[in-house]
Amino acid sequence: MTTTVGRPGRPPRPRALEPGGADVASSSGGGLRWRTTRVADPGPLLDLLARRATAASPLAWVRRGEGLVGWGEAARVQSGGEHRFATAAAAWRDLVLGAPVVDDVRLPGTGPVAFTSLSFDAASAAAGVLVVPEVLVGRRGDVVWVTTAEPVDSPVAASGAAAAAAVASGDPVEPVRGPGAVRYADGALCGPRWATAVARAVARIQAGELEKVVLARDLVAEAEHAVDARWLLARLADAYPSCWSFSVDGLVGATPELLVRRERGLVHSRVLAGTIRRTGDEERDAALAGSLARSGKDLEEHEYAVRSVVSALAPHCRTTTAPDAPFVLHLPNVMHLASDVTGVLDDARPGGAPGVLELAAALHPTAAVCGTPTAAAAALITELEGMDRDRYAGPVGWVDGSGDGEIGLALRCARIDGADPRRVRLFAGCGVVAGSDPMAELAESDAKLVPVRDALGGA
């Protein structure tokens, strides 16, 4: 089941329609039904993907062994352009409205669930997606469940237990294979030209045109064999367990930044801005963490990012809370200044409390991935980057039937080429403020490329 909605420059349709007019959210001839069953522990979630998914199809949102994985496609919505958030949200509401649901678990992430990944920029040529898996396995604490989605007019399965039993049994659908030797080449800009772009951005900031801009660069990898998204995902999750590892429609990564979580009336957003590379020496890294926490340049960059999140959430919340000072988040390759912003949704507002996709629309793009003021920073990105970011730095995550879910920013990620899966684009970005040094920013971008380069392998 596939539909394309949200063409650039057009308002969202009130319902998600096929070109011929077939309503994908109807209760018959295109609607879906969901069944969620609690099951015994089938083992690590990503190991299930290695057995049950194909190289091109894994769906995942996993952190520290918990989260969601899925495979197969019961429905797919493509959504691009200015109204991509609204059209994805409208299509999702249509799919779940009045749909038959049997949910024996009743936790966030049970019942109807879709994975989503949207473009960073409304003008991007890349279409965003919202994918409903045929089979989903979730884990929260010691609770594990299986959810199946199928057309309402298909024969009713005997029980959810039958689907659950099939999850952990049988031979692999397609064995996981490594990419072999990997070669790298410059993307839109080589390192020196990108550093020159940073210098131009610093000059514009110092001239008072804006306060901060985030400039990204890309790197192109060509592997000996087709890149298996499951291979890349598993290696990233193993190396960066504190990040949210994700895979949606060929975009695979491990992000440390949670754009928004909505869960039972509460909202949470993790803001990262300000970075320093680790050395591997514990004593030296402790000193570097202290210098990062005192760095005027990094604290200024971080303040812009936190302020943008608080301002975006405030209209939707009764209360919002942000810490007075950030903490230092330690990752294997870098350290970030981090702040957790929380809020209580205002369910008395007209139309009720917004769902996680609507909250993501209100927040995106944050100063952490764009800059401030937003319009000036976005214009400078278009002028200086020389590339289409695709879905890099765009929202990625999942939404359930109640509007709860988790949406991260697609950072530390790679986009596997659908036409030639041996080709992969890697991305990294850095926040630029008045005190930025272009060569230091280039070194920071190299550090942010390390996770995916290490996961792919190659020189």
- pLDDT tens per residue, range 232-270: 999 999 999 999 999 999 999 999 999 999 998 999 999
- Find how far residue 198's CA is from the centre of its chain: 25
* pLDDT at residue 22, rounded to an integer: 26
Structure tokens at 404: 């709860």
- 213 in the same domain as 278: yes
- 113 in the same domain as 233: no
Query: What are the tens digits of pLDDT across the range 379-438?
Result: 999 999 999 999 999 999 999 999 999 999 999 999 999 999 999 999 999 999 999 999
- Of the chain, the percentage scoring pLDDT greater than 70 comes to 90
Clarify whether 212 is annotated catalytic: yes
- 290 in the same domain as 199: yes
Give the pLDDT band (50/70/90) at residue 6: very low
| Token pair 């995916």 in the structure block, residue | 452
Give the pLDDT band (50/70/90) at residue 21: very low
Query: What are the tens digits of pLDDT across the range 360-381?
Result: 999 999 888 999 999 999 999 9
Residue 328 CB-density burial (10 A; 0-12 exposed, 13-18 middle, 19+ buried): middle
* pLDDT at residue 23, rounded to an integer: 29
* pLDDT at residue 164, rounded to an integer: 63
Question: How far is residue 11 from each of residues 14, 17, 53, 214, measured CA to CA in Å?
Answer: 9, 14, 35, 29
Structural domain includes residue 271: yes
Residue 369 CB-density burial (10 A; 0-12 exposed, 13-18 middle, 19+ buried): buried
* pLDDT at residue 304, rounded to an integer: 87
Query: What are the tens digits of pLDDT across the range 299-329?
Result: 988 898 898 899 999 999 999 999 999 999 9
* pLDDT at residue 459, rounded to an integer: 40
Give the pLDDT band (50/70/90) at residue 209: very high
Which residue has better confidence, 413 or 16? 413
| Token pair 């367990």 in the structure block, residue | 241
Domains identified in the chain, total number: 2
- 338 in the same domain as 436: yes
Is residue 168 over pLDDT 80? no
Q: Decide: helix, strand or coil at residue 410.
A: coil
Do 226 and 43 form a contact (C-beta atoms < 8 A)? no
Among 92, 96, 50, CA closest to 71: 50
- 186 in the same domain as 140: no
* pLDDT at residue 392, rounded to an integer: 98
- 411 in the same domain as 267: yes
For the chain, the average pLDDT equals 89
Do 327 and 333 form a contact (C-beta atoms < 8 A)? no
Is residue 10 over pLDDT 90? no
Q: Decide: helix, strand or coil at residue 308.
A: helix
How many other β-carbons are positioned within 10 Å of the β-carbon of residue 263?
A: 16
Among 238, 236, 263, 261, CA closest to 247: 236
Structure tokens at 174: 């397609």
Strand partners, 5: 79
Exposure of 149 in the CB half-sphere (CA atoms within 13 A): 28
Q: What mean pLDDT comes out for the span 66-74?
A: 96
Structural domain includes residue 176: no
Domain end, chosen from 116, 143, 167, is at 167
- 314 in the same domain as 271: yes
Is residue 342 over pLDDT 70? yes
Structural domain includes residue 401: yes
Structural domain includes residue 175: no
Give the pLDDT band (50/70/90) at residue 8: very low
Catalytic residue among 212, 303, 358, 406: 212
Q: What mean pLDDT comes out for the span 184-196?
A: 97
Q: Give strand ranges (E) for 361-447.
A: 371-372, 395-400, 405-409, 413-416, 423-432
Residues in the chain: 459
Return the exposure string of 155-187: e unless at least 16 CB atoms fall within 10 Å of the residue's CB, then b.
Answer: eeeeebeebbeebbeeeeebebebbeebebeeb
Query: What are the tens digits of pLDDT across the range 106-147?
Result: 999 999 999 999 999 999 999 899 999 999 999 999 999 999
- 104 in the same domain as 251: no
Is residue 19 over pLDDT 50? no
Question: How far is residue 143 from each of residues 43, 245, 398, measured CA to CA in Å?
Answer: 12, 20, 18
Q: CATH number, domain at 439?
A: 3.60.120.10
* pLDDT at residue 353, rounded to an integer: 85
The residues, any chain, with a CB within 8 Å of residue 6's CB and separated by 6 or more, are 12, 78, 79, 80, 81, 83, 84, 86, 87, 88
Taking the CA atoms of 121, 124, 130 and 133 in sequence, report the sign of the dihedral they define.
negative
- 233 in the same domain as 259: yes
Domain end, chosen from 167, 199, 221, is at 167
- 234 in the same domain as 142: no
- 260 in the same domain as 201: yes
Do 132 and 32 form a contact (C-beta atoms < 8 A)? yes
Domain end, chosen from 144, 167, 190, is at 167
The domain containing residue 387 runs over which residues? 182-456
Is residue 348 over pLDDT 90? no
- 308 in the same domain as 430: yes
* pLDDT at residue 160, rounded to an integer: 55
Which residue has better confidence, 158 or 261? 261
Clarify whether 209 is annotated catalytic: no
Structural domain includes residue 173: no
Do 30 and 40 form a contact (C-beta atoms < 8 A)? no
Exposure of 79 in the CB half-sphere (CA atoms within 13 A): 30
* pLDDT at residue 167, rounded to an integer: 76
Structural domain includes residue 172: no
Catalytic residue among 18, 134, 150, 257: 257
**What Rg value do the Cα atoms of the chain yield, rounded?**
21
- Of the chain, the percentage scoring pLDDT greater than 90 comes to 77
